[in-house]
A and B are shown apart, each in its own frame.
Chain A
Amino acid sequence: MDDTILEMRDITKTFPGVTALRDVSLTVRRGEIHAICGENGAGKSTLMKVLSGVHPAGSYVGEILVDGKPVRFHGIRDSEAIGIVIIHQELALVPYLSVAENIFLGNERRGAGGLIDWNRTNAEAAALLDSVGLAENPVTPVIQLGVGKQQLVEIAKALSKDVRLLILDEPTAALNDIDSAHLLDLLRRLRDRGITCILISHKLNEITAIADSTTVLRDGRTVETLDMRAGDVTQDRIIRGMVGRDLDSFYPDRTPSPGAEVLRIENWTVRHPVQDRNVVDAVTLNVRAGEVVGIAGLMGAGRTELAMSVFGRSYGRDIRGRVFMHGRQVRTRTVAEAIRNGIAYVTEDRKRYGLNLIADVCRNVSAAALGKLSRAGWVDGNEEIRVAEQSRRSMNIRTPSVMSAVGKLSGGNQQKVVLSKWLFTDPDVLILDEPTRGIDVGAKFEIYTIINRLVADGRAVVLISSELPELIGMCDRIYALSAGRITGEIAVSEATQENLMALMTKEKEPSR
């Protein structure tokens, strides 16, 4: 029998309207590197939030045992007290504090009279930095370090808390190959020192390289736990677990009848707003009228960044490339310009970027095309209501009235309001970014039906989605995006979840 450090039993966690985890179980042996994989939204991060106390005991169903004893965490401090430390994907360092200050933040090394003992702080920090292989002065402000080194500071911080179980959420997502290799090396050394690691990663090559076990999650359930020590588990084997076998058949039928090209993007390159890398790299793609074109990519592949940079340069800097509408080059340098040229972008984060939650349905629907409702700057309020009522009926928005605040509607109905808003601008092409994220199955079907109606009207749709069955079920063609590059274009008749996932996880090839 292996020595078990952690056991999570039948964890179920629900959010309003969504079940994020359903009877998920996870067993981690002491001193191993245990990988967790799954598609976006499979429940990996939620599971780790349950484990670390971010979702406190009582907000989920199920049991957590550490060293065989049941534990109940009410916050992150409880889990850290017994040596469980989580390092989130977005690093939680204070940029203007020094490395040493960050390491001991909330856990300060004090001397006489409760004052901070700086000599001790810096000396201990130097020792910790040494153990993670980071040759930096502890008094250096964190902002002066690259992302890879910041990641190491986070690990040093975890070590300062006497970590026994270290959880890393996508630690290499923002790192280049050298930094990634360095980090994986460090994880191996930590394992040799007896520290157990849980590693969440999309990079399957990393997982096959260093994990001792891999647990696969899908749709909030545990699919399987693979023993990797024999070395016979391939990336394809993991992909099979991640995507499953069954393609859901609830996508409404549509006879494809693509017409003339509507949108073409050529050689589109976008720099990260602060970091020195291309988030979107020489992307070329096109969409025709009456066609649904999918963009498949894992988190961080640059899907949203591609869409937002095209839509009025709402993301990134040093944007290069050309946009054509109906074969004619157009400028989309402001959102208003993009809208005028017939482009609409439906955001993946409707609450933050899509809706004014405190305003009513009516005002949200009209927000992007008030000009159509006004003469000489005066809005025709009655006409506005008529338009909103029309959307309410055609989109089947379930709301007491178009005068109700959007914030009170369910996710699916909010999404229909966002769609209504963009349809009212009468676009030729709609870029839908995760249009069914966080909404229930019934509402998803309605959204799919709406998409089919749009293309039947001769519009073009670009569908960005993390759900491969959704892409295969809805699209005519699918582009795969990995690390900002198009790694493949597949007609839907040839697309399988396996070959898409292989393209999405394809390592980048050297630049031409």
Chain B
Amino acid sequence: MTSTKPAASERTASESAPAAALHTGTSDPRTLIMRNLRQSGIYVAFVVIVALFAILTDGVSLSPGNITNIVLQYSYILVLAIGMVIVIIAGHIDLSVGSVVALTGAVSAVLVIQQGQPWWLGVLAALAVGVAVGAWHGFWVAYVGMPAFIVTLAGMLLFRGLTLRVLDNISLSPFPAEYQRVANGFLNGLIGGQGYDAFTLLIAALAVAGYAVGQFRTRVARIRYQQPVESFPLFVARVVLVGAIVMYFAWQLAHARGLPIVLIILAVLVLGYGLMTRRTVFGRQVYAIGGNLPAAMLSGVKVRTVNFWLFVNMGFLAGVAGVIYSSRANGAQPAAGNMFELDAIAAAFIGGAAVAGGVGTVVGAMVGGLIMAVMSNGMQLMGVEQSTQSVVKGLVLLLAVAFDIYNKRRAGAAR
């Protein structure tokens, strides 16, 4: 039973707010922050955590080498988190992704290392196995109607077992140099630079320019359609801030080893899936299913088809993560990917996805994953014991979801 008493008092307060004023530009920062507390809270937390560890490690955590390291070390978790947040938005869960990372890596290793096939064939095989596993899960969840928790728990055991079978209980190593480049390679020196990599900076500058133009066009369109927008100075401040952060990040990378290939893969995936969730019919239907399943059905959404494909997609991304992880580890091990699913799930929830479904964003999950990454990395730099790291990460997850529930209760009260 949830308490209903505070509801009455809060209801009158929120309904009487002169919300019509939002129609024109709003610059009152308090309104803006309160309106987006759920989303902005996560960014604030991220900045605080980055700053905290920068202080605790005397700036080491923000050094060029370390930033590169964070990207290389956690990229596969972030890839998994993209698929996971979509699964979670639709109201499901996937516990099997760690095992699928291991299986796809193992299949690739057997082909490339044992049988001497070309590196790209290993990559394609890993992706194909990932898609097949996703279709398997999708079949049971969407067409048989089983809870994803059970289906993927079974998958977790099943595909770990298959990994052991494929690898014959031994580790395979090493991969050829081309395969290793996927996770460890850099694009640099293409257009020179003195002590820094000009190519990295150019790419970052293009990205920032693209972001600014895109945001401006969105803003113009919204004004044309008489939608509320933030005031112009605030808009400029936001774009400049994001641009500055990206350029600082690129600057650090340019002074280390250049632009990691895996970062390009990740950026393409985040951009693509971000658009997919926000702008496509499929993305809308995922939110509709998670937000109110019966209403989605009665609106003609083909719920089974959507559920099937989002698991196929999760399998595909687990294959991508499997390639990146095996490439980084330079081989395949029977125990690879252990507990990855929990990191990916934690990233999605810390990033604002709702436990009940219907809420969440790809970008939020990325920030959630980065919060975990920065914390782990920072604590490693400080030499904190593994046991303490685990406790801290557990508490952060707990607090993030508690915050989500608190928020939802407030939103519910405002109804």
A interface residues, Cβ below 8 angstroms from B? 16, 311-312, 314, 334-336, 338-339, 345, 347, 352-359, 363, 366-368, 370-371, 374, 377-379, 381-382, 385-386, 389, 400-405, 407-408, 421
Q: How far is the CA of A374 from the CA of B292 in the complex (A)?
A: 22
Q: A355-B295, A358-B359, A389-B225 are in contact. Are A368 and B287 (CB under 8 A)?
A: no
| B227–A403 CB distance below 8 A | yes
Contacts of A371 in B (CB 8 A): 281
Q: How far is the CA of A365 from the CA of B257 in the complex (A)?
A: 50
Residue in B11, B287, B299 whose CB lies within 8 Å of A335: B299
Contacts of A353 in B (CB 8 A): 292, 294-295, 298
| A335–B298 CB distance below 8 A | yes
Listed A/B pairs (20) with beta-carbon separation below 8 Å: A16-B11, A335-B298, A336-B300, A345-B298, A353-B298, A356-B291, A357-B292, A358-B411, A359-B287, A368-B300, A371-B281, A379-B279, A382-B224, A385-B227, A389-B225, A389-B226, A401-B23, A404-B19, A408-B14, A408-B414
Q: How far is the CA of A354 from the CA of B299 in the complex (A)?
A: 8
Instruction: Across the interface, name the chain B residue whose C-beta is closest to A385.
Output: B225
Q: Provide the main secondary structure of the chain B interface.
A: helix
Contacts of B300 in A (CB 8 A): 312, 334-336, 338-339, 368
| A359–B19 CB distance below 8 A | no
B295 to chain A, nearest CB (A): 6
Residue in B221, B279, B295, B302 whose CB lies within 8 Å of A336: B302
Q: A386-B225, A400-B20, A408-B14 are in contact. Are A356 and B284 (CB under 8 A)?
A: no
| B228–A356 CB distance below 8 A | no
| A401–B295 CB distance below 8 A | no
Q: How far is the CA of A401 from the CA of B31 in the complex (A)?
A: 15
Q: How far is the CA of A336 from the CA of B285 in the complex (A)?
A: 13
Q: How far is the CA of A377 from the CA of B295 in the complex (A)?
A: 21
Q: Which 9 A-B pairs have the closest CB atoms?
A: A400-B19, A356-B291, A368-B299, A336-B300, A335-B300, A356-B292, A367-B299, A385-B225, A339-B300
Q: How far is the CA of A345 from the CA of B298 in the complex (A)?
A: 8
Residue in B22, B225, B287 whose CB lies within 8 Å of A356: B287
| A359–B288 CB distance below 8 A | yes
| A379–B295 CB distance below 8 A | no
Q: A370-B284, A379-B281, A400-B22 are in contact. Are A356 and B295 (CB under 8 A)?
A: yes
Q: How far is the CA of A208 from the CA of B354 in the complex (A)?
A: 53
| A379–B415 CB distance below 8 A | no
Contacts of A421 in B (CB 8 A): 299
Q: A367-B296, A400-B22 are in contact. Are A382 and B281 (CB under 8 A)?
A: no
B282 within 8 A of A: yes
B71 to chain A, nearest CB (A): 30
Contacts of B22 in A (CB 8 A): 400-401
Instruction: Across the interface, name the chain A residue whose C-beta is closest to B408.
Output: A358
Instruction: Across the interface, name the chain A residue whose C-beta is closest to B354.
Output: A358
B319 within 8 A of A: no
Instruction: Across the interface, name the chain B residue whose C-beta is closest to A359.
Output: B291
Contacts of B226 in A (CB 8 A): 389
A304 to chain B, nearest CB (A): 12
Contacts of A312 in B (CB 8 A): 298, 300
A408 to chain B, nearest CB (A): 6
| B415–A407 CB distance below 8 A | yes
B297 within 8 A of A: yes
Residue in A355, A359, A382 whose CB lies within 8 Å of B221: A382
Instruction: Across the interface, name the chain B residue whose C-beta is closest to A339.
Output: B300
Bitwise, B292-324 to A at CB < 8 A (1) or not (0) is 101111111110000000000000000000000
| B299–A359 CB distance below 8 A | no
Q: For window 19-51 of chain B, which residues contact chain A by CB distance below 8 Å?
A: 19-20, 22-23
Q: How far is the CA of A368 from the CA of B298 in the complex (A)?
A: 8
A75 to chain B, nearest CB (A): 10
Instruction: Across the interface, name the chain A residue whose C-beta is closest to B287.
Output: A359
B280 within 8 A of A: yes
Instruction: Across the interface, name the chain B residue whose C-beta is closest to A16.
Output: B11
| A355–B298 CB distance below 8 A | no
| A378–B280 CB distance below 8 A | yes
Q: How far is the CA of A339 from the CA of B292 in the complex (A)?
A: 19
| B281–A370 CB distance below 8 A | yes
Residue in A377, A382, A407 whose CB lies within 8 Å of B280: A377
Q: A400-B20, A401-B227, A405-B411 are in contact. Are A352 and B279 (CB under 8 A)?
A: no
Residue in B8, B19, B296, B299 whose CB lies within 8 Å of A401: B19
